[in-house]
A and B are shown apart, each in its own frame.
Chain A
């Protein structure tokens, strides 16, 4: 069992990508030390452990470091055999989970940040529309992956729940800033639940 000193997370409390690492460690009941980073003044530790991107989150496990949030979650799933499975047991379901995670990170979630920062009314309208279209796709994905149960991962929180779930806080903030209910239960009832 890893001691808390063996596992560190470099991050910021408010960053959804960091939250993914924390969620995964929590599911696996792994204690860890959280080291708060100031992204305006990056620490030597961050620059040492992520020289390529110089970004959070970074997971440090003993003398090894892992960067990029989805890769960190998969590492935690692979490296620690405590707690429930994070990735589906079936290879095809794993492929689907990875596919939708890539969609969320490459296409859907980036729109949320652009929306929050946009001051242009027409641009906001167009972004909200795109987000709703994506939400309907994610609703279909949820129905397929959950197989009638509460989570993408079935009866327990899994990989896609972590990837999408970590985005919820920022999604809620954006909803308040823009005045639109993005996680609209009329459009995506299962996801809203």
Chain B
């Protein structure tokens, strides 16, 4: 009997996109349930009562939450093509860089995006330091996963569309091609990959959404 897969997501969540891309790479059929984060469905609250967030993957009715946990779950259940390396140390390194992305790169990018003036200037330093580590990781490789898109590429997938959107809004280069040639090349290669680009949310809607978010955050600053 075919597995029943459903994905609860929003139209724009970068975390949910990780799962969308992973399911596509694995060649898996699934049903999409689009959520409105301002009016969370009873299903979302039932399947993710703790965080009440997307994405949630339902596999034969059983929920898996947290995007990186979902990626590992998909990789565990559906082996081909593999997203994580088989070697224990390489696997550990993949998990390390994915976590670095969520704990350091994303927040430091967000700090630059949601600030201005002197605050923004001060926020650029930590982002630059974080990006240097990513640049180093891409030496000799097409993707973080090697020759094919893997777990770490999907974890950093948000950079594929969001970096250029944020740069357009704040009129500031976040990933300078001169300073970060490998990372810039990766962003282009990843975002142009046919499996990946088919699912990018509409750019104009994203620009509008993130512009509003930046304005909201700037108003919060005392």
Flag whether A124 is at the interface (Cβ < 8 A): no
Contact partners of B100 in chain A: CB under 8 A: 52
**C-alpha spacing A67/B204, complex, angstroms:** 40
Q: Say yes or no: B73 contacts A78, CB within 8 Å.
A: no
Q: Say yes or no: B73 contacts A94, CB within 8 Å.
A: yes
**Contact digits for B49-90, partner A, Cβ 8 Å, 1 yes 0 no:** 010000000010010111001101100110000000000110
Q: Say yes or no: B50 contacts A103, CB within 8 Å.
A: yes
Distance in angstroms from A145 CB to nearest chain B CB is 14
CB-contact partner of A91 in B76, B89, B91, under 8 A = B76
Contact partners of B73 in chain A: CB under 8 A: 91-92, 94-95
Which residue numbers of B lie inside 8 Å of A, CB to CB?
50, 59, 62, 64-66, 69-70, 72-73, 76-77, 88-89, 91-93, 95-96, 99-100, 133
Contact partners of A64 in chain B: CB under 8 A: 89
Flag whether A116 is at the interface (Cβ < 8 A): no
Flag whether A68 is at the interface (Cβ < 8 A): yes
Contact partners of B76 in chain A: CB under 8 A: 91, 94-95
**C-alpha spacing A59/B80, complex, angstroms:** 30
A68-B72 in contact given A52-B133, A78-B91, A99-B66 (Cβ < 8 Å): no
Of all chain A residues, the one with the shortest Cβ separation from B130 is A52
Of all chain B residues, the one with the shortest Cβ separation from A90 is B76
Flag whether A74 is at the interface (Cβ < 8 A): yes
**Contact digits for A56-90, partner B, Cβ 8 Å, 1 yes 0 no:** 00000100101110011011001100000000000
Q: Say yes or no: B69 contacts A99, CB within 8 Å.
A: yes
Q: Say yes or no: B96 contacts A68, CB within 8 Å.
A: yes
**C-alpha spacing A79/B95, complex, angstroms:** 15
Of all chain B residues, the one with the shortest Cβ separation from A97 is B69
**C-alpha spacing A182/B99, complex, angstroms:** 29
CB-contact partner of B96 in A67, A94, A137, under 8 A = A67
Contact partners of A72 in chain B: CB under 8 A: 92
Contact partners of A28 in chain B: CB under 8 A: none
Q: Say yes or no: A95 contacts B88, CB within 8 Å.
A: no
> Beyond A94-B73, A95-B69: 10 further Cβ-contacts under 8 Å?
A52-B96, A71-B99, A72-B92, A74-B91, A75-B89, A78-B91, A98-B66, A99-B66, A99-B69, A102-B66
